[in-house]
Structure 1
Amino acid sequence: MFADYLEHGPRAAAPPTALATRPPALVLYDSAGYSGFVGNLYARMLANTLSNSKTPVYVMPVENYTAGAMAGYAETFYLGTVYNNALPAAFKADALSTTKPLCWMGYNLWQIAWTADWTASDPAFTNKYGFTFSYIDSTSMPQIVYKGQTLDGDQLANGLGRVSILDTAKVQVLATAQTTDGSNSLPYMLKGGNLYYVADDPLQDSSAWLRSDRSLAFEDVLNDIIAFTPATQRQALLRIEDVHPQSDPKMLRSIADLLYAEGVPYVVCVIPQFEDPLGDWNGTPLSTSLKSATAVVSALKYMQSKGGQIIMHGYTHQYSNVRNAYSGVSGDDYEFYRVNVDSNGNAIIVGPVAEDSAAWVKNRITLGLNALAGVKLTATGWNTPHYLASPVDYQEFKNRFQYSMCRGKIFGIDPQGRLAWVEQEAPYPITDDLGGIRLPETLGYVSTPELGTVGALPADLVAKAHKLKLVTRNGYASCFFHWFLPTSMLQELVRGIKNEGFVFKTASSTLN
């Protein structure tokens, strides 16, 4: 199964079924050449994003396009990720003639915007859409302005497609890319007739770690492209992170009291088995089960009585009796992937753990669920430790839990035969390409010296929520907070998000 998944992705296996409530969309991508596998990853990411509107999607390499295929879909999306890829004549002809919404992202617009000899703009294109393609602009434009808000662009961008607007009556500029000082700019996203054009792949490198949130603009415009009216209520989700048998039960009860008083439901990410095999905490190896941590169990049940839901956060949130990558302690380390640390303290990804298999991960999940059941607790969902596991693992997570509450991975194989992935940070709930429901995490977490980092205080997360509110129509303000931080910071966080107009929801209530 996973050989096919890694090569094509399950959404590409067959045309859409009639199970969804909306007309199907067609997503085409460049698959040729050395970097062709990248197009497949982002095409599947786009399909995942469209699942929020329950839009069925058929993903296909543009090289396989046949004449008239667009006619069978409500919208067509093309991801131009391979520079000057030889697009099929049938695709180019249909792209020019279709009257249905067509969204073109990234490279190769010149293949339909210019004459066949590439010496001039094609009148058929300019007359219909009101603009033409000019050139790839390599000027660094790290800011995207949308709805009056400045978003971070792709920090790794190789250039943006610059267009020239010829008929302002036909063209609506939706977002603008600009230099940091604002002295140079270009239309980043625009609509001309039925054609939407985005100057790059707006989903690429839209990771929290790369500080690029320009994808929010595109994810909002998607509602217009597919004529979808999202729910208007501003929703928020909160996770209390890394709770384990060695957590302080008094802190857990204080959190429960505070959130109950604030009217904030939440989830508690529980690590059922605590391990410190190298004695990192106090020089002595330590292993603690939930069953032996009666005060912690009592506190968890108290949290449930005050609006908390339990989700499982791995079994031990660490691996074996080694540093992986930091201390070997539950909550610090990776559980499903081997990771080293270089001399500068940077994590170096190695690969899945040696034991990785469906049987191995099923056993770890079963051990965790049994540990919870042994103290009469039930997990409603899952959160992958440090958001990293293998494709086999993610399949099993999906099979065993109603939903996941973390950023997901989309996997492929690079030209060297190595496992590759991109991370998806959607602003609203989606169904991923394995069929699992994934709830969003959009704001990050409060980061303090206790966590080894500084820079994201409650006010910073509230500022993100404010921007999210202004930029998106249906984005969730979703974040997490570590149980050992001061409850005063938690109070500031939830009050600030509520003051922005967001309503906190239980995770399970968002599944439909």
Structure 2
Amino acid sequence: MKKYLIVLCALLMVFASTGPVSAEPAAEDKKTLVVYSSVNHQVDEDERKLDMLLSHFTKNIDFVHVSEFQPDDTKDTTHIFYYGSRNEQLPDSFLASMDSYEGTLTVIGHNQNQFKDHFSFEASPKLSNFNFMYLDGEKEEKIKIPLQSVFTVPVNEEIEVLAWAEGGKKAKPLVMEENGAYYAASPDVISPVSTLFGDVLHDIYQSSHEESHPGYIRLEDIHPLVDPEKLKETGEVLIENDIPFMMAVIPVYTDPETGRRSHFSDYPETLEVIQYLQENGGSVVLHGYTHQYRASETGEGFEFWDVENNTPIYKEGRDPSPIKRPDDFHTRDAYEDYMAELKDFERDYTETKLNKGIQELTGFGLYPLAFEAPHYTMSQHGYEIASEFFSTYVGQMQLSDENWQVMDSAPYSTSPSFTHGMTVLPETLGYVEPDNKQAADEIIQKAEQQMMVRDGMVSFFYHPYLGAERLSEVIDGLKDRPIEWIDLKEENTKVQSDEVTITAADGNVNVNKNTFQLFTESKTLFHYFVQNTADKVTWTMVGVSSLSVMLFCFYTFVSYRRLTQNERSDQVG
């Protein structure tokens, strides 16, 4: 009886200790509302930047333009973010709702002075420049950045400054808190400002994320024509250092002058190296199908964005006709029908490319576990399509359908609304530039800055044609940092095409494929299958023939010895 009482007491202690220790709501309970002030009333790049940051803490995010805000929008919300991307008079109904709001309010950029019930200060509309920033209490670890702007906020005893901006040796509040409300004085949360703001968001959400720094190294632009020796020696550096890594693989290389397409079946030595690396710590990331559009070279061209027109892929590359604008149509309905046709083309184009990429790699025994758009360029519709094939995206994100150059990364892993469920593993450090002798030092310095975020991602990519030496230089500089290198095989990823489903978890990769369909629907894979089968049959025949010859020789030798022994016996007899 005494033994049972001891066990019962122990169980009660366990339940008591696991109960009310943390009052932090689960991610799905942190209902967040983003109120924004864009000119076109649509969610645009500004809101998507914020989406990338917030979705690290919750997937329950709603967006509403300030002019369309209704008091009921605040129901059950735990956090409200007002993003003032422009100066304007805010509606009285919205301000009244914010005055009575009891959850956590965060104001960003313009119009802070209209939230008078939350802040005792008013940010000056005049912007000041700064080129350093740091978290409060960590001035010795300040980050040097390209010139940015901040609204001037007078410091008083009522506010707690969480991050500082410094310019001309004068420090000004960058992010601050007063009575549970927060203000970010930057008109923009694009990186590198998002680095510090991303860390402060842990306080805003009262997140218990432990300090840890996941990271990855991605070997970039691996296509059939890469140098297999340099690829292998580069991969060996990572294997020897026990670092799992990613390989951004392009199944088809297109020669821009002749238009000739090369596949991995044309370069078996390169294929063997990639298969070897996959078996020894490398994970394949599909990096487009040809990494080019029109007549550009693989690795240089854009595949999912029309750079000449700065639009999504809305037509065949050889089609010279311009994309029509709304004023080219008599009615709005006619324009919308036209846009629907263009989006149908984009869907068909993107689905075809992704299907072919996944299926061709799988046919060669290479199993993609994530996707990276060539040059990080893809429309918002493109991300939606990609999410139907991939659970994981790697790299930076394009944030605008008007300009491909508007792209950014979050400082940590995230799952923004516009990726439709895909987890994003951002690239945060750039790459080793071929002509930059200081590239390794710069990446190491950026890594230190990323690690100011309590769970900041440390990630970069490297081109194998540079050889192993420069990669070794970076790795040596990162060895002493507490980086937890990501292995995609451990990340619960899923990839699915028409004929293939690939899942990975706990270090195991499971492939479910329709082999007959794969090899009969692809001329390249069919020839590869036939050649492989022929080679195997040939080598089997050679092996059998060799064994037969060996057995014949052995039998002949034994027979000869036996005959010799018998002759000697006769002579002796």
Give the gaps of 5 or more residues in structure 2.
1-24, 317-344, 494-573
2:101 aligned to which of 77, 98, 106: 98
The SS at the match of 1:135 is coil
Counterpart amino acid of residue 367 in structure 1: K
| Residues 505, 443 of structure 1: alpha-carbon distance in 2 compared, 3 angstrom cutoff | same
The residue that corresponds to 1:255 in the other structure is 234
1:29 paired residue number: 36
C-alpha distance after superposition, 1:211-231 (max 9, x if no partner): xx1210101111110111113
Q: 2:277 aligns with which of 303, 307, 311?
A: 303
Contact 2:313-2:346 at 8 Å conserved across structures: no
Distance 1:50 1:272 in 2: 35
Alignment partner of 2:442 out of 460, 463, 467: 460
TM-aligned CA distance change 1:19 to 1:75, over 3 Å:
closer
Say if 1:455 and 1:25 are closer, same or farther in 2 by CA, change over 3 A: farther
The 3-state SS of whatever aligns with 1:139 is: strand
- The correspondence for 1:425, drawn from 380, 398, 409, is 409
Post-superposition offset of 1:50 = 1.9
Counterpart position of 2:471:
490
Q: Quick one: which of 173, 184, 209 aligns to 1:198?
A: 184
Superposed, 1:86-485 pairs within 5 Å as 86-113=89-116, 125=117, 129=119, 131-146=120-135, 147-148=138-139, 149-151=141-143, 155=147, 157=149, 160-166=150-156, 168=157, 170-179=158-167, 181-182=168-169, 184-204=170-190, 206=191, 213-278=192-257, 286-320=260-294, 322=295, 328-339=296-307, 349=310, 352=313, 354-355=315-316, 356-411=345-400, 422-432=406-416, 433-435=418-420, 436-449=422-435, 454=436, 457-469=439-451, 471-485=452-466
TM-score, normalised by the number of residues in structure 2:
0.71
8 A contact 1:234–1:502 mirrored in 2: yes
Distance 1:387 1:83, change over 3 A: same
Question: How many residue pairs are counted as aligned between the two chains?
Answer: 436
C-alpha contact (below 8 Å) 2:175/2:183 kept by paired residues: yes
| Deviation string, structure 1 residues 51-90 (Cα, Å, up to 9, x no partner) | 2223411111122223364352111110011202x31223
Quick check: 1:151–1:214 contact (8 Å CA) kept in 2? no
Is the Cα–Cα contact under 8 Å of residues 285 and 370 in structure 2 kept in the other structure? yes
Partner of 2:328: none
Distance 1:507 1:494, change over 3 A: farther
Whether the aligned pair in 2 keeps the contact of 1:28 and 1:43 (CA below 8 Å) is no
CA 1:137 to 1:507, structure 2 compared with 1: closer, same or farther past 3 Å? farther
Identity of aligned residues (%): 24
Which amino acid counterpart does residue 110 of structure 2 have in structure 1? Y
Alpha carbons 2:132, 2:166 under 8 Å: kept: yes
Q: Structure 2 CA distance, aligned partners of 1:136 and 1:151?
A: 25
Distance 2:446 2:491 in 1: 21
Give the superposition deviation at 1:389.
2.3
**Paired residue type of 1:458:** A
> For the residues of structure 1 that align with 2:347 and 2:155, how far apart are their CA atoms?
54
Relative distance call for 1:401 and 1:110 in structure 2 (3 A) is same
Indicate how the Cα distance of structure 1 residues 310 and 134 shifts in structure 2: closer, same or farther if over 3 A, else same.
Answer: closer
CA distance in 2, matches of 1:359, 1:19: 38
Aligned to 2:85, which of 81, 84, 91? 81
Tell me the SS of whatever aligns to 2:129.
coil
Per-residue CA deviations over 1:152-209 (Å, capped at 9, x if unaligned) read 567464xx3222234x1x3211122222x31x332111111111111123424x3xxx
- What is the distance in 1 between the residues matched to 2:58 and 2:97? 26
Aligned counterparts of 2:449 and 2:367: Cα–Cα separation in 1:
35
Structure 1: segments with no counterpart, 5+ residues: 1-17, 114-124, 207-212, 280-284, 323-327, 341-347, 413-417
CA contact (8 A) 1:202 1:218 kept: no
The answer to whether the 8 Å contact 2:128/2:152 transfers is: no
* Structure possessing the higher radius of gyration over alpha carbons: 2
